[in-house]
Chain A
Amino acid sequence: MKTSTIKKLAAALALAVSATGALAKDITLLNVSYDPTRELYEEYNKAFVKHWESKTGDKVTVNQSHGGAGKQARAVIDGLEADVVTLALSYDIDQLHEKAKLIPKDWQSRLPHNSSPYTSTIVFLVRKGNPKNIQDWDDIVQPGVGVVTPNPKTSGGARYNHLAAWAYALKHNNNDPAAAKAFVTKLYQNVSVLDSGARGATTTFLERGVGDVLLTWENEAYLALKEQGADKVEIVIPSYSILAEPPVTVVDKFANKHGNAEVAKAYLEYLYSPEGQEIAARNYYRPSDPAVAAKYASQFPKLELFTIDAVFGGWQKAQKEHFGDGGIFDQIYGK
């Protein structure tokens, strides 16, 4: 009912436009994104609207949808007609191909840097003065340390948290998976709340006073620091963490249907432009452009980062072994 009304409206609009000749178009884009990117895209959308209008004269309105990455991908698969998706990890975008053939299989090679215009990592947020003296991953598995992390079954960020801890344990135990499992089990024994998304976990840690350390996205940690003030929380950078590559892609099927293919592509490409990169950096995402990265170097502490591909052999494999049915997470919680 609703879609047919929209179709009729669109058809009427198309008629009106063709009748009056080459008028500036009104374009509406839908960007379906994950939980902590609200502030990033709020700023970026304004910049892109301006850029696109000065370039083509067309007026774009970008609508945003945010939530846990898994939920968001499922919404698109089930028919939320997103023109672009900007999610936390490639596994969830892969599902758009696997489950509904909305995008080609090789979607990730269509844009530079594995389609990740910005990267991030996982850091610790602790309470002012760091009363439990948390410096690295070893410190958060000690008895008596309260850890807050979301549920990796529903949150992309939580999957990065889990894998970062696992990789750290592998590195310090001669790549022994049994030791890594023991390490991560101890970590989860310190967890008393599993929220469904990164933002929920931040709220639990900051507003409800639960736990001593929050495992979270670097950008989320800086945002919390900005909102709460340095008199409440501190950021601790571990010695070793994961390179998080949140990828973006055009949802071909829906973008073509809306006649938005061109603008949707430009929307994502502009993320790689100096201005897009600046906005990402200002919102505490690590820029991929070397010049912008150099400019913001002091903002992003240097730490040893590993990729999912190098340690876990890619998302598909990591997902299955760690978060699938009967995987490591289920084993830890005694499935």
Chain B
Amino acid sequence: MKLLRSSSVLPGFGPALGFTVFYLSLVVLIPLSAAFIKTFELSWGEFVDVVTTPRVLASYKLTFGASLLGATLNAFFGLIVAWVLVRYTFPGKKLVDALVDLPFALPTAVAGITLSALYAKNGWIGSLLEPHGIKVAYTPVGIVVALTFIGLPFVVRTVQPVLEDLEGEVEEAAASLGASRWQTFHRVIVPSLAPALLTGFALAFARAVGEYGSVIFIAGNMPMVSEITPLLIITKLEQYEYSQATAIAVVMLVLSFLLLLLINLLQWWSGNRHVRK
């Protein structure tokens, strides 16, 4: 506290911190703690029973697995998109740049309906894949497609500004000091981009875990196979099982929090490593 206070020349630390805590409590902590409190209606045994049924476990596996896969795909392809947008000039670049944000703006239900129409066996893409025995709509693959779609802007928009700051001269300096292309890439560029890339990955992942609207239209929603956790929560609610629904939600929250914490630690570690070198 003292350290923080002395490190800033600007006044107003107290009120600003007070406001931050108040605001976060109002917007984030109070609604979330309500979920925890509702869960206390269940005994510990009931809670464990609810959140460890095979169907719920299968949905956790699917939701977190598909979200990680979607975020990984986005980290890879989003990096390429950001690279192209920053390092090259080509006609229509502004347009492509604007396209990246579309998944943000589109209502998720519209995204879901559009994707399922495209990937269904009578859709444009689905009709090309179907003869090869590849099914996307109404399978877990469809879920990954939807989660990749909604997560793309996060990676591009976090990596882009960092890449813009990373001047070409740095690469030239590395080359003139005798680094090969590969060395330049993984010793110079990747370490500078890693924190931003991880942030983008974490955001895309977090968004995907909570995604409902776009997924239910393309998932098929079969228990044990393509049923995501948010759908299971809604299902419990519609059966008037409020405390069971919040129990599943609480586990999801804790898992998400732990995973995000892990990603943040990774980010801190990679940032530090970069600084030391």
Asked if residues A209 and B121 are in contact (CB atoms below 8 Å), the reply is: yes
* Chain B residues in 8 Å Cβ range of A192: 138, 220, 222
Asked if residues A330 and B55 are in contact (CB atoms below 8 Å), the reply is: yes
Asked if residues B138 and A335 are in contact (CB atoms below 8 Å), the reply is: no
Bitwise interface map of A from 186 to 205 toward B, beta carbon under 8 Å scored 1, else 0: 00000111111000000000
28 contacting pairs across A/B (C-beta < 8 A) = A74-B237, A151-B221, A151-B235, A153-B235, A153-B238, A192-B220, A193-B138, A193-B220, A193-B221, A193-B222, A196-B221, A196-B231, A207-B117, A207-B120, A208-B116, A208-B117, A208-B122, A209-B121, A210-B121, A325-B241, A333-B55, A333-B222, A333-B223, A334-B54, A334-B55, A335-B53, A335-B54, A335-B55
Bitwise interface map of B from 206 to 228 toward A, beta carbon under 8 Å scored 1, else 0: 00000000001000111110000
Asked if residues A208 and B137 are in contact (CB atoms below 8 Å), the reply is: yes
Which residues 50-87 of A sit at the B interface, judged by CB distance below 8 A?
68, 70-71, 74, 77
Shortest distance from the beta carbon of A90 to any chain B beta carbon, whole Å: 15
Sorting the interface of chain B by its residue count into under 10, 10 to 19, 20 to 34 or 35 or more gives 20 to 34
A191 to B121, CA, bound (A): 16
A191 to B222, CA, bound (A): 9
Q: Does A154 contact B (CB under 8 A)?
A: yes
Asked if residues A154 and B238 are in contact (CB atoms below 8 Å), the reply is: yes
Q: A208-B116, A335-B55 are in contact. Are A70 and B222 (CB under 8 A)?
A: no
Asked if residues B224 and A210 are in contact (CB atoms below 8 Å), the reply is: no
Which residues 281-334 of A sit at the B interface, judged by CB distance below 8 A?
323-325, 330, 333-334
Asked if residues B121 and A70 are in contact (CB atoms below 8 Å), the reply is: no
Asked if residues B239 and A194 are in contact (CB atoms below 8 Å), the reply is: no
A135 to B122, CA, bound (A): 26
A333 to B54, CA, bound (A): 10
A192 to B227, CA, bound (A): 12
Asked if residues A210 and B138 are in contact (CB atoms below 8 Å), the reply is: yes
A154 to B223, CA, bound (A): 13
Q: Does A99 contact B (CB under 8 A)?
A: yes
* Chain A residues in 8 Å Cβ range of B239: 70, 153, 323-325
* Chain A residues in 8 Å Cβ range of B54: 334-335
Which residues 115-140 of B sit at the A interface, judged by CB distance below 8 A?
116-117, 120-123, 137-138
* Chain B residues in 8 Å Cβ range of A194: 220-223
Mostly, the A contact residues are loop
Shortest distance from the beta carbon of B193 to any chain A beta carbon, whole Å: 40
Q: Does A142 contact B (CB under 8 A)?
A: no
A330 to B54, CA, bound (A): 10
Mostly, the B contact residues are loop
Q: A209-B122, A333-B224 are in contact. Are A74 and B116 (CB under 8 A)?
A: no
A95 to B53, CA, bound (A): 26
Closest to A319 in B: B239
Closest to B122 in A: A209
* Chain A residues in 8 Å Cβ range of B216: 196
Query: Which of B224, B231, B240 gathers the greatest number of chain A CB atoms within 10 Å?
Result: B240
A68 to B123, CA, bound (A): 27
Q: Does B234 contact A (CB under 8 A)?
A: yes
* Chain A residues in 8 Å Cβ range of B237: 71, 74
* Chain A residues in 8 Å Cβ range of B223: 194, 333-335
Closest to A71 in B: B238
A193 to B244, CA, bound (A): 24
* Chain B residues in 8 Å Cβ range of A74: 237-238, 240
* Chain B residues in 8 Å Cβ range of A71: 237-238
A309 to B197, CA, bound (A): 60
Shortest distance from the beta carbon of A71 to any chain B beta carbon, whole Å: 5
17 extra A-B contacts, CB within 8 A, seeds A192-B220, A194-B222: A70-B239, A71-B238, A74-B240, A99-B240, A151-B235, A193-B220, A196-B231, A208-B116, A209-B121, A324-B239, A325-B239, A325-B241, A325-B244, A333-B223, A333-B224, A335-B55, A335-B223
A208 to B231, CA, bound (A): 21
Which residues 134-168 of B sit at the A interface, judged by CB distance below 8 A?
137-138
Closest to B53 in A: A335
A93 to B221, CA, bound (A): 26
Closest to B235 in A: A153
Closest to A203 in B: B113
Shortest distance from the beta carbon of B134 to any chain A beta carbon, whole Å: 15
Asked if residues A210 and B222 are in contact (CB atoms below 8 Å), the reply is: no
Shortest distance from the beta carbon of A52 to any chain B beta carbon, whole Å: 33
Which residues 205-226 of A sit at the B interface, judged by CB distance below 8 A?
207-210
Asked if residues B116 and A95 are in contact (CB atoms below 8 Å), the reply is: no
Shortest distance from the beta carbon of A92 to any chain B beta carbon, whole Å: 9
* Chain B residues in 8 Å Cβ range of A330: 55
Shortest distance from the beta carbon of A208 to any chain B beta carbon, whole Å: 4
A334 to B120, CA, bound (A): 27
* Chain A residues in 8 Å Cβ range of B122: 208-209
* Chain B residues in 8 Å Cβ range of A196: 216, 221, 231, 234
Bitwise interface map of A from 106 to 143 toward B, beta carbon under 8 Å scored 1, else 0: 00000000000000000000000000000000000000
Closest to B50 in A: A325
A71 to B240, CA, bound (A): 9
A207 to B54, CA, bound (A): 33
* Chain A residues in 8 Å Cβ range of B224: 333-334
* Chain A residues in 8 Å Cβ range of B138: 192-193, 210
